[in-house]
Amino acid sequence: MKSGFLRHTAYFAVLYYFSLLFLGFVILILSHIPPAAMNLDWLILKIGVLREILGWPRPLLRRLWPAETTPAAVNYLAAFLTCLIWGFALSGLASFFTARKNKL
């Protein structure tokens, strides 16, 4: 593998992590708006579904240790592996479309 591909994988993994943090922040902010002022439950639910889709591999990785006493290291490892999986996938897509664009 080229070092450029690994660098892009790391960039996309960090971008993915910050996008999940941002979606959580948006959900938090929108949930603090009183429903009497503006009912945003539908938007919060849609963003929650998007966040659940983006965090997909993490529930599978957390099931490796199915107990209520899951060590914190397993949760951190699951988050790290999820970010790497998405970073690898996004970097692969970016390099595929770049190579395809260069061929045309």
Q: Give the C-alpha separation, 10 to 88, whole Å.
A: 8
Q: Specify the pTM.
A: 0.80
Residue with tokens 């006493």: 69
CA distance 36 to 52: 27
Q: Where are the domains of the chain?
A: 3-103
| Cα–Cα distance measured from residue 50 to residue 45, given in angstroms and rounded to the nearest whole number | 9
34-67 residue pLDDT tens: 988 999 999 999 999 999 888 887 777 767 777 6
